[in-house]
Structure 1
Amino acid sequence: MEHVSNKDDVKTSLRKVVRETSHEMMMQCVSRVVSHPLHVISMRCMVQFVGREVKYSGVFRAIGRIFKEEGILGFFVGLVPHILGDVIFLWCCNLLAHFINTYAVDDNFSQASVIRSYTKFVMGIAVSMLTYPFLLVGDLMAVNNCGLRAGLPPYAPVFASWIHCWRYLSAQGQLFRGSSLLFRRASIPAASFPVD
């Protein structure tokens, strides 16, 4: 990210950021679509350990099983929330970094170039916390109702769509479950005390 000074340069710079982000977004979406079938396979291979199952015991066997049981769409379960999360992350990160570098970092400050070099990195960390629910929902949809115990009741409800999954997690207060590296969020049931 470069720093710009006058209004014409700011407009030109913003256009450049929008153009570059649009190109980056297209590349990200294409790569997500191409790699998503392998993501679904890897998620299911990991989740089968919950029920000590061996339904997916290799890439080629998993491909055959998914195609046989769910058709071609089985490879793309959970794709929409993943793409939405990627796109929101990319635009927020790039635009926030651009605006901070353009308007918040003063050229007179001796460490301005150092601050600008870290802005996008810091924005990536901050924005990833906000887009985490999209990744969670996409991952849950990849294993939901696929025949593995962890994707079926009582471990997980069967969801009709990713929006249904999102609403369920939101109502349960679990949209950010698993998002913290250091702390665990646990839902605490309401306590009831006898009234004397």
Structure 2
Amino acid sequence: MPSTPVEVDAAVVLLGASVTAITHPLLYVKLLIQVGHEPLPPAVGTTMFGRPVLYLPGLFSYAQYILKVDGKVGLFRGLSPRIVSSTISTVARGKIKRRELQSKKDEHQNTFRKLVQETSHEMIFQCLSRVATHPFHVISVRCMAQFIGRETEYSGVFSCMVKILKEEGLSGLYSGFVPHVLGDVLFLWCCNLLGYFINTYAADDSFSQASTIRSYTKFVMGISLSVLTYPFTLVAVVMAVNNCGLAAGLPPRFPVFKSWLHCWNHLSAEGQLFRGSRLFFRRAPVTLPLSVED
């Protein structure tokens, strides 16, 4: 007996929530690095050319530190709001996917006009999804960022939401929303447009491996463009915690930013727009002299 759409959606949501839970410690470490928390000293290492450098602790060393301070449960700070956000996003993506499949049935032509229409519809769904999920993103970020100052102000999804609404108003729940949604939109359009032009003009049907190239184009574009749009994600995270009363978002760690552009310019001036994009072989800003010995 074939599965119903509701059963399929439920299975996908459950799978998404499971993946979110499993990968949460990784995102937790990444977030602490994004807000500039470096509790462990760098270690001496060498580049591939043999030049001595200082390497900051990687994912596993950082996770072990959190484990030592907070125990196993501590690795899952902020998980509940992330699962809520993941569930909403999964449902929204499912609707987008069904719309795309229906569109392919209705029209087989792969025209540029059709691409623009589909991408526009996808953008609207994605923006609406971000509107619904961003408050949970803010709550999750603040729950995790409490590790830095050892605060206990944020715990529980609904109590956090009430606290933010009471102290900061609706704008507090949407701290960092603009760079987050701009990054989403930029990624979506660039990925779809580049994929279309490559599939249409670079991988024409006369080439024997054209179908293989087309199947991997969007995946490769996604990886490449995620690097280019990363600063938007970083700024969204920093703005979500900035000036909210937690040590992670207050001076001297960060100034109180007037806007997300102020935050962007500050990180750019410090050469930190890609902070947290790497979890291994993270080089400290100071390079050791060649005469340094282990």
Q: In which range does the TM-score fall when normalised by the shorter chain?
A: 0.7 to 0.9
Counterpart AA for 1:79: F
1:113 to 206, 211, 214: 211
Contact 1:173 1:187 in 2 (8 A): no
Aligned with residue 176 of structure 1, among 258, 262, 274: 274
Consecutive unaligned residues of structure 1, counting only runs of 5 or more, are: 1-8, 192-196
| Pairing partner for 1:30 from 111, 128, 144 | 128
Query: In structure 2, how many angstroms separate the alpha carbons of the residues matched to 1:17 and 1:139?
Result: 31
CA contact (8 A) 1:141 1:162 kept: yes
Residue 129 of structure 2 aligns with an amino acid whose one-letter code is S
- Alpha-carbon contact 1:105-1:112 (below 8 Å) kept: yes
Aligned match for 1:93, one of 185, 191, 194:
191
TM-score by length of 1: 0.88
Name the counterpart of 1:64.
162
Instruction: Compute the TM-score of the two structures, normalised by the length of structure 2.
Output: 0.59
Q: Percentage identity across aligned positions?
A: 68
Q: Let me know the Cα RMSD of the aligned residues.
A: 2.1
Rounded Cα–Cα distance in structure 1 between residues aligned with 2:285 and 2:130 = 32
SS of the residue 1:25 aligns to: helix
Matched to 1:141, the amino acid is M
Q: Which runs of 4+ in 1 moved over 6 A?
A: none
Distance 2:184 2:219 in 1: 16
CA shift digits 1:51-99 (9 cap, x unpaired): 1110001112211211111011110110000010000000000000000
Give the alignment partner of residue 127 of structure 1, picking from 212, 225, 229.
225
Letter in 1 for 2:132: V
Q: Which moved more, 1:137-146 or 1:54-63?
A: 54-63
Q: Which residue of 2 aligns with 1:6?
A: none
**1:186 aligned residue (284, 287, 291):** 284
Instruction: For residues 87-145 of structure 1, give each alpha carbon's deviation from its aligned partner in whole angstroms, at most 9, with x where no partner exists.
Output: 00000000000000111113232221011011011001000100000010011000000
Q: After superposition, where does 1:11-26 map in structure 2 within 5 Å?
A: 13-26=111-124
* Pairing partner for 1:74 from 144, 166, 172: 172
What is the number of equivalent residue pairs in this alignment?
183
Q: Which runs of 5+ in 2 are unaligned?
A: 1-107, 290-294
Q: Is 1:146 the equivalent of 2:249?
A: no
